[in-house]
Amino acid sequence: MAPADGRLVSISHSPQARPREALQTELDEAIIRAAGSHRRAYALTVVHVSRSDHSRVQSSILTSSIVSQTGLGALDRLPVELLLQALRHMDMQTLFSLRQVNLRARQMVDSLKEYRAVVSYGLTAYCALLRMRLAAHVTLLGFYRLLCSQDCAFCGKFGGFVFLPLWIRCCFECIEEDPETRMVTVAEVRRLFRLSRAEVGRQRACLTMPGIYTTGLYSADKSYQRARLKLVPYFPAMKEFGDRLETGVPRSRHQPFWDPVHNFMASCELPYYDPQTQTVDYGISCVGCEARAVEGNPGQASRPAVAPWDGIFSRDNFLKHFKGCRQAQKLWEASPEAALEAIIKRDVVHE
Ligand SMILES: [Zn+2]
Ligand SMILES: [Zn+2]
């Protein structure tokens, strides 16, 4: 995990890596430590779960307090492989409840590599799904697949976040900028499209979590949201009931009331997990480029010329960026770990 000071460390290295590849990985990690940074601050302006809350839920997610030797009833009649496959297609709410049943259920769920990855690296998103009453809409396989993807579904850049109601990977910018991540209150969607109670019930509603949220991409303000709001994504309702706007509602009432803070209350950080190397990537920004932006705008450190969320790279793309970024290279050359490069070159020559 990235430590509190924002510098990055690798979680683990590929067990199959040969010595020379391992040295290269060491070198890459050292470069990232010297010239890269993970801006965890953004993760604290969307849905987030504190470390102490994590440890409280881990008792129910990672271990079970209920120990029993009984079986799984009718499910036990299935061949084990088929049962495991069925578990992968179950939703996260069902799996959460199933693990509470008995020890056998817990062991079956915990034996799935997908479940272990989800609770190890996507715990914030899992807690958010449970608390926001969205966990029944996401299967274990759906969760795992999103965890193992890294691009924002809307713009294609590195996406270190997830839009929870529709379970879509996105970047920080698209949480506000893309129309599909727009959230409105249930009352508002009901008014706009004149929905019946049953139609409202079919919307993917979520109950927001109290906390501190950013009020917008271009705002330095944060707001504490005490109330738990019932929100729905606007886009699916618009797709299904948009024709009612044309016929029944006066044109002046077409525009929904929309507060950007609601989008951030429906999104949270989700790192990219690479199953090959068993490492996670939260996105890396270039400290060299940041320093240059501040130098170019003295006294404007909080308002750099380039939007700060623009420069978030995946691990691989950061290393490519590093090759062309003189500012980052200077930071690396001044780092005590730069000696590693000379050692690797020497060893390669002597091979
Ligand atoms: Zn995006
Ligand atoms: Zn740079």
- pLDDT tens-digit map of 145-198: 999 999 999 999 999 999 999 999 999 999 999 999 999 999 999 988 899 999
Ligand nearest to the CA of 152: 1
Q: Is residue 122 part of a domain?
A: no
What is the total count of domains within the chain?
1
| Average pLDDT value over all residues in the chain | 84
Centroid of ligand 1 to alpha carbon of 316 (angstroms): 18
Does residue 208 sit within a domain?
no
- pLDDT per position as a tens digit, 15-28: 455 577 788 888 89
Ligand located closest to 319 CA = 2
> Using CA atoms, how far apart are residues 281 and 334, in angstroms rounded to an integer?
25
What ligand is nearest to the CA atom of residue 156? 1
pLDDT at 303 over 50: no
Answer yes or no: are the C-beta atoms of 280 and 224 closer than 8 Å. Answer: no
Helix (H) or strand (E) holding 285, with range, is: strand 284-286
If you measure from the C-alpha of residue 224 to the centroid of ligand 1, how many angstroms do you get, rounded to a whole number?
25
| Averaged pLDDT for residues 96-124 | 91
Distance 283 CA to ligand 2 centre (A): 14
Residue 198, amino acid? A
- Phi, psi of 267, deg, nearest 5: -135, 150
Residue 318 lies in a domain: yes
Query: Would you say the pTM of this structure is higher than 0.95?
Result: no
Q: Give the residue numbers spanning the domain of 323.
A: 1-6+18-38+284-298+306-351
Q: Would 334 be classed as within a structural domain? A: yes
Q: What per-residue confidence (pLDDT) applies to 56?
A: 62
**Residue 316 covered by a domain:** yes
| Cα 157 to middle of ligand 1, angstroms | 6
Q: Measured between alpha carbons, how far is 302 from 38 in angstroms, rounded to an integer?
A: 17
313-342 pLDDT, tens digit per residue, is 999 999 999 999 999 999 999 998 888 777
Ion ligand 1 contact residues with beta carbon within 5 A: 152, 154-155, 171, 174
DSSP, residue by residue, 249-269: S-GGG-SPP--HHHHHTTEEE
Angle formed at CA 59 by CA 94 and CA 169, multiple of 5 degrees: 55
What residue type is 195 in one-letter code?
L
Residue 17 φ/ψ, nearest 5 degrees = -60, 135
Question: Residue 274: helix, strand or coil by DSSP?
Answer: strand
CA angle 140, 162, 200 (to 5 degrees): 80
Let me know if residue 48 belongs to a domain.
Answer: no
- Among 38-42, 53-57, 169-173, 218-222, the range with the most confident prediction by mean pLDDT is 169-173
Give the separation between CA 61 and CA 59, rounded to whole angstroms: 6
Q: Is residue 315 part of a domain?
A: yes
Whether residue 145 is contained in a domain is answered as: no
Task: Report how far residue 39's alpha carbon sits from residue 44's, in angstroms, rounded to the nearest whole number.
Answer: 10
